A and B are shown apart, each in its own frame.
Chain A
Amino acid sequence: MTNVDRAVQLAPRLDRQVVLKVLFVGGLLSSFVWGWTHLDMSILGFFKDLGNVGNLLKRMYPPDFSETGRIVESMAETVWMALLGTVGAVVLSYPLAIGAAANTTPHRAVRGVCRSVISLSRAVPELILAAIFVTAFAPGPFPGVLALALHSIGMIGRLFADAIETAVEPPREAVISVGSSRRQMIRSAIIPQALPSMIATALFRFEINLRGSAVLGLVGAGGIGLVISESLETIQYKPALAAVAVLFVVILAIELASSAVRRSLIGEAANLVLQSQHQSLFSRFMVRRDSERIRRAETTRAISPPWTSDRLFRVGAATLALALVAVALFSVDIAWLSALRNIDEIGIVLGQMVPPSFVGERNLVVSGLLESVAISIVSTTLGVVVALPLGVLMARNVNLRRWLATVSRVVVLALRGLPELIIAVIFVAAMGLGPVPGTLALSVTVAVFAAKLFADTMEEVSPAPREAVVSVGASRPQEFVASLIPQFVSPFIAHLFYLLDVFFRSSTVLGIVGGGGIGYLLIQSIRVFEYQLTSMIILGVFAIVLVLEWLGVAVKRLYR
C-alpha cells in the first residue's frame, strides 16, 4: 500500500471555513431577493422602464448650446472645486492614514480614533454636508469645497491606510535595522511602496469629486450642477443635455490623463508573453533615447538620475498638478480669509444637531433607511453582474485584443462621466417618482464604477503564476480560470463591500431628486432647520455603514 492509498483524501474535508463561505453566498443571494421584492421590482417592468428612459432621451436630443459661455464658466468652477476638495482631503488624510494603518500607527488607541474619524466622514454624504454648509455660510463654491474635502477623507484616508498596510515587511525591518527613527522608516520604507497606489487613489478620488461637485449645485453650492438643475426644473431638456455633454467631455479628458499617469506609476506589466509584441514607432524611439541616456549617465558617473522619458513625465505631471492647484486657489470666487474666519459657523450648526432626535418621525426614518438598504443591495448586485464581464473586457493583460480593451475602457469612462444623481433625475423624469428609477440609475453607476475597479485589479495581478500555468501548455481560458480568478477572489470580496459601502451612501441622497430612500426626509430636515432629525438620520446611516464595515472585515478574513 502506498502512502497515497493510506492518506487518500481526494478533496478537502468540509470544514468551518467552507460552511461559512456557503452561508455568506446564501446570505448575499437572499438579501438580493429580499431587496428585489421590498422594492416591488419586476423583470417585465424593467423593460418597460427602459423604454420610458429611451423616449425621454429622444426628447432631450439634440442638445441646445446657446448658453455655452455660462456652461463653460460653471464647468470651470466645478473642476476647481473638485481639485481643491481633493487636495484638501489628501492633506487631511495623510496623517490620519499613518495613524490608522497597523504598521505605522504609534499606538492601538490612535489607530482606533483615526479609523473612526475616517469612517465618520464617509457616513455623511457630501451633498448633505454641502446642504448644511450652504445654510451655515451662504450659497457658493466654498461650502462645496469644504463638503468635498471632509467627505473625501472617508475614501482617501481608508485607501491610503490600505496602501500603507499592504507594504511588504522586509524593507521596513531593513530601514529600522540601520537605526532610523519611526518617521524616517515611514518615509523611506513604507511611503515609497505605497506612493503609486496613493497617487492613483488621489487621482481616482479627483475623478469622483468631479462628478460629485457637478451635482453640488442641486443644493446651492455652485458649479455646473446649478445650470443643469435649473434647466431640468424648467423642463428645458435640450440646454440641460448641452451642459451634461460638456461635463462628459471634460471628465473624459481628465480621466484619460489620470489613467496615463497611473499606468506610468505602476509600470507596464513585465510579462513579455502575455503582452502583445506590437510597439509604436514613437515608443521605440523613446526606448532607444532612454537607453542612450542611461548609458551616458553610467559613463559620466552622473550623481543624479538621467532624464528618461519616465522621469520627464513624472516631474512634468507633478509640476502641472501644483500649477493647477495654484490656479484653482486664485480663480475660484472665494474670499479665503473671511471664509476661513467664519469656519466657526459650522460649530453653531453642529451645536443645533445635539441631541439627535426622531422628533416624532421614527417610523419614517426606519422605513426610509430600510428602503435605502434595499436600493443599495439590489443596485450593487445588478451592477456587479454587468461589471464583471465588462472588467474582463477592459483589462489589458486579460483581453489581448488591445484595441477592444481600449474601446471598452473609453465607453465605460464616458458612461462614468454621468453623475448618478443626473442619471437618477433623468430616470425619475421618465418613470415617475419612487425607488425603482433610483435603483436602476444607481445600478448603471455601480456597473461602470465597478468595471473600472475590477479591470484595474486584474491588471495588477501577479504575472508569475500566470506564466507558470502557460508553460504547462494551458489554453488561455484555462490560464484565466486557474491562475487569475484565484488571485482575484480576495480583492473582489474587498471591492464588493467597498461598493456596498459607497452605494449605500449614494442611496441615501437619491431622495433629493425623488429616487426613493431616506434622502427625501434628510434634505427636508435641513431645509426646515430640523437639525436634530438630520443628525438622527446621519447616525442611523452611520450605524448601517458600521455594520457593513464589520461584515466586510469578517468576510474578508474568510476569503484572505
Chain B
Amino acid sequence: MQGVDARGSDAVVSIASLSKRFPNGTVAVDNVSFDVPSGQVLGLLGLSGSGKSTLMRLVNGLHRPTSGHVKVLGTTVDECSPRELREMRRDIGFIFQQFGLVGRMTCIENVLVGALGRLRGPRLGVRSYPKNLRRQALERLDRVGLLPQAFQRADTLSGGQMQRVAIARSLMQEPKVLLADEPVASLDPESSVQVLDLISQIAREDGMTVICSLHQVELAIGRTDRLIGLRDGRVVLDRLTAGADQESIMRLYRRSGAAEGTPDPARQFA
C-alpha cells in the first residue's frame, strides 16, 4: 500500500479501527482506518456488499459503529448526543443512490429541505421558508442546471435530473464534507458522467472534501485525488489516483485477492 496519509494532521474525516457488525452477524466494515485531508476527493471502490454504504453511513452517524471511532470536522461521531449529531450533519452533505426525494414535492421544496438543519421548527411548502433561502435554493438549482424545473414536481424528472436536485439539496447545506453513496448506480452512463463531473467540479470550486463510493474504476479515474478499495469490509487498496490506470488498480486487486485465495473481484470491475 502506498502511504497517502502524510497530511493526516489536517484530516477532515478520520476513521480509526472502525468495525460494524449487524445484528444478523454480518460484518459489513472490518477494522478500517484512514484519514481524508481537507479538500481531497476520495473515490471509494468496491463491489456491492463490500461495505461502502455502511462505511458512509457510519461517517454521518446514520449507523452506529460496533467498535472504533469516526471523527468528522473535529467531532467524534460515535460519541455524539442526538443534538450534536444533528449539528454535525448540517456540515455533511449526503447523496443517496436512490436520491431520497419526495416525489410529490416540487424541486425547489426538495432543495429547501437541505436548509432544515439551519432552521428552527418544521416547514411545509415553499412559502414557509424565508425569502433569502428560496433565492438561495434557486441559485443552487441554477448551479446544477435545473433552474427551469424549479417548480416542477420531482417525480416528473429523469433519474439524472433527480440526482442533480439531490446535489442541489446538499449544496443548500453549504457542506464542508460531501458523502456520495453510489450516486450514479441507478443512472445511465451519460447521466453518470454528468453527475460525477458536476460533483467533482463543485468539489474543486468550493474546496469541499468528498468521499464518493463507486463500483466502476474508469469513472473514478480523472475525477478523484485518491482511491481506496474495499473488499469484505476491509481496505485492500489505498493510493493516489494520479498515475493510476484501470490496469494497475485491477492488478492490485488481483494480488490481494490471490493472497486470500478468493475469486478475483477485479475481473468484475472491467
- A residues at B contact (CB < 8 Å): 2-4, 7-12, 272-273, 277, 279, 284, 287-288, 291, 464-465, 467-475, 477-483, 485-487, 489-490
Supply 28 A–B pairs (Cβ within 8 Å), ascending by A: A2-B142, A4-B138, A4-B139, A4-B142, A7-B147, A7-B150, A10-B135, A10-B138, A11-B134, A12-B151, A273-B62, A291-B24, A468-B99, A468-B101, A469-B116, A472-B93, A472-B114, A472-B116, A472-B173, A474-B117, A480-B122, A482-B113, A482-B122, A485-B124, A486-B104, A486-B109, A486-B124, A489-B104
Report whether B126 and A287 are in contact in the complex, using a CB–CB cutoff of 8 Å.
no
B138 contact from A7, A273, A471, A474, Cβ within 8 A: A7
Q: Which residues of A contact B261 (CB under 8 A)?
A: none
A8 to B98, CA, bound (A): 30
* Closest-CB distance, A308 to chain B (whole angstroms): 12
With A465-B100, A471-B94 as given contacts, are A10 and B131 in contact (CB-CB < 8 Å)?
yes
Q: Determine the distance from Cα of A467 to Cα of B60 in the docked complex, in whole angstroms.
A: 12
- Please report the C-alpha to C-alpha distance between residue A279 and residue B170 in the assembled complex, in whole angstroms: 34
- Beyond A465-B101, A467-B100, whether A4 also contacts B147 by CB under 8 A is yes
A471 near B122: Cβ-Cβ < 8 Å = no
CB of B73 closer than 8 Å to a CB of A: no
Given A10-B138, A288-B25 in contact, is the A482-B124 Cβ separation under 8 Å? Answer: yes
- With a CB–CB cut-off of 8 A, which chain B residues contact A287? 23-24
Complex: chain B residue closest to A485, CB-CB: B124
**Which residues of chain B in 52-102 are interfacial with respect to chain A, using CB atoms and an 8 Å cutoff?**
60, 62-64, 86-94, 96, 98-102
**Are B98 and A464 interface neighbours, CB within 8 A?**
yes
* Closest Cβ–Cβ distance, residue B164 to chain A (whole Å): 14
**Chain A residue contacts of B4, Cβ below 8 A:** none
Contact A478 B151, beta carbon cutoff 8 Å: no
Q: Are B113 and A474 in contact (CB under 8 A)?
A: yes
B210 at the interface (CB under 8 A from A): no
Contacts of A12 in B (CB 8 A): 106, 126, 151
Q: What is the 8 Å Cβ interface bit string for chain B, positions 224-244, against chain A (1 contact, 0 not)?
A: 000000000000000000000
* Residues of chain A within 8 A of B63, CB atoms compared: 272-273
Q: Is the CB of B116 within 8 A of A474?
A: yes
Question: Residue on A with the closest CB to B137?
Answer: A10
Minimum CB–CB distance from A165 to chain B (whole Å) comes to: 17
| A-B contact sample (6 more), CB < 8 A, given A272-B63, A279-B23, A473-B86 | A3-B142, A10-B131, A272-B62, A472-B114, A482-B102, A486-B105
Name the prevailing secondary structure of the A interface residues.
helix
Please provide the 5 A-B residue pairs with the shortest distance between their CB atoms, ordered closest to farther: A468-B100, A473-B117, A481-B122, A473-B89, A473-B90
Nearest residue, chain A, Cβ from B151 = A12
Is the CB of B204 closer than 8 A to any CB of chain A? no
Asked if B62 and A472 sit within 8 Å, CB to CB, the answer is no
B173–A10 CB distance below 8 A: no
Residues of A near B148 (CB, < 8 A) are 7
B interface with A by C-beta (< 8 Å): 23-25, 60, 62-64, 86-94, 96, 98-102, 104-106, 109, 113-117, 119, 121-124, 126-127, 131, 134-135, 138-139, 142, 147-148, 150-151, 166, 169-170, 172-173
Check if A478 sits within 8 Å of B135, measured CB to CB: no
The residues of A that contact B135 with a CB separation of less than 8 Å are 4, 8, 10
A486 neighbours in B (Cβ, 8 Å):
102, 104-105, 109, 124
- Give chain A residues whose Cβ lies under 8 Å from the Cβ of B117: 472-474
- Least CB separation from B131: chain A residue: A10
Q: Are A467 and B113 closer than 8 Å at their CB atoms?
A: no
Measured in the bound complex, the distance between the Cα atoms of B23 and A284 in whole Å is 8
Complex: chain B residue closest to A489, CB-CB: B104
Hey, which chain B residues are within 8 Å of A279, CB to CB?
Answer: 23
Chain B nearest CB, measured from A528 CB (Å):
53
Contacts of A478 in B (CB 8 A): 116, 119, 121-123
Residues on A with beta carbons closer than 8 Å to the beta carbon of B170: 472
Contact of B134 among A10, A474, A487 (CB under 8 A): A10
Chain B hits for A481, CB < 8 A: 122-124
Chain A residue nearest to B128 (CB atoms) is A481
Q: CB within 8 A of A464: which of B96, B115, B134?
A: B96
Q: How far apart are A6's CB and chain B's nearest CB, in angstroms?
A: 9
- The interface residues of chain A lying within 8 Å CB-to-CB of B23 are 279, 284, 287
CA–CA, A477 to B86, complex, Å?
13
Give, as a whole number of angstroms, the nearest-CB distance from A286 to chain B.
10
Pick the contact of A482: B60, B116, B151 (CB < 8 A). B116
CA distance A146 to B96 in the complex (A): 52
Most buried by A among B87, B116, B142: B116
How distant is the Cα of A242 from the Cα of B194 in the complex, in angstroms?
71
Q: How far is the CA of A482 from the CA of B102 in the complex (A)?
A: 9
Smallest CB–CB gap between B136 and chain A, Å? 9
Residues of A within 8 A of B122 (CB): 477-478, 480-482
B116/A471 in contact, CB under 8 A: no
Shortest C-beta distance, A141 to chain B (Å), equals 47
* Min CB–CB distance B179 → chain A (angstroms): 8
Alpha-carbon distance between A291 and B22 when the two chains are bound, in angstroms: 12
**Pairwise interchain contact A9-B151, C-beta atoms closer than 8 A:** yes
**B105–A477 contact, CB under 8 A?**
no
Contact B126 A11 (CB under 8 A): yes
Q: Tell me the minimal C-beta distance from A467 to chain B in angstroms.
A: 6
Q: How far is the CB of B224 from the nearest CB of chain A, in Å? A: 22
Bound CA–CA A490/B96 (angstroms)? 25
The answer on a CB contact under 8 Å between B166 and A471 is no
By a CB distance below 8 angstroms, the chain B residues around A475 are 86, 116
In angstroms, Cα B168 to Cα A472, docked, is: 12
Given contacts A7-B147, A486-B104, is CB(A467)–CB(B96) below 8 Å?
yes
Contact A473 B88 (CB under 8 A): yes
Q: Which residue of B lies closest to A469 (CB)?
A: B113
Q: Is the CB of A468 within 8 A of B96?
A: yes
Residue in B closest to A279 when the chains form the complex, CB atoms: B23
Question: Judging by beta carbons under 8 Å apart, are B89 and A472 in contact?
Answer: yes
B contact residues around A473 at 8 Å (CB): 86-92, 116-117, 173
A465 touching B87 in the complex, CB below 8 Å, given contacts A473-B116, A473-B117:
no
Distance in Å from the Cβ of B257 to the closest Cβ of chain A?
21
Chain A residues contacting B100 (CB-CB under 8 Å) are 464-465, 467-469, 471
Q: How far is the CA of A272 from the CA of B142 in the complex (A)?
A: 34
- Is B62 touching A467 in the complex (CB atoms < 8 A)? yes
Contact A483 B102 (CB under 8 A): yes
Complex Cα spacing A279 to B23, Å: 9
Contact partner, A470, options B62, B119, B126, B147, Cβ 8 Å: B62
List of A residues within 8 angstroms of B104 by Cβ: 486-487, 489-490
Closest B residue to A12 by beta carbon equals: B151
Q: Which A residues lie within 8 Å of B123 (CB)?
A: 478, 481-482
Which B residues lie within 8 Å of A483 (CB)?
102, 113
Contact between A477 and B134, CB atoms less than 8 A apart:
no
Q: Which residue of B lies closest to A482 (CB)?
A: B113
Q: Which residues of chain B are near A291, meaning CB under 8 Å?
A: 24-25
